[in-house]
Amino acid sequence: MTTSLLRRALFLAMIAAAAAAPVHADSIASSASSAGSESSGSISDSIGGSSNSSTKNKRVAAGEYRVIDVAQVPGKADTTRMTLRAAADAAQEFTLDVPNRALAQRGVNTGELVRVNERVYGYEFAYADSKQPFFLALQDNWYRELGSRQVTI
Q: Residue 79: which residues within 8 A CB-CB, separation 6 or more? A: 72, 73, 97, 98, 99, 100
pTM of the model: 0.67
SS3 of 42, please?
Answer: strand
- The pLDDT score that the predictor gives to residue 26 is 41
**Confidence grade of residue 20 (pLDDT, cut at 50, 70, 90):** very low
Q: Tell me, what's the pLDDT at 19?
A: 45
pLDDT at 90 over 90: no
Please say whether the beta carbons of 97 and 43 come within 8 A. Answer: no
Residue 151: pLDDT above 70?
no
pLDDT of 43 above 50: yes
pLDDT in tens, 117-126: 999 888 999 9
Place 135 in a pLDDT band, splitting at 50, 70 and 90: very high
Task: List the domain boundaries for the chain.
Answer: 3-145
Stronger pLDDT, 10 or 59, i.e. the higher one: 59
The confidence band for 106, taking pLDDT boundaries of 50, 70 and 90, is very high
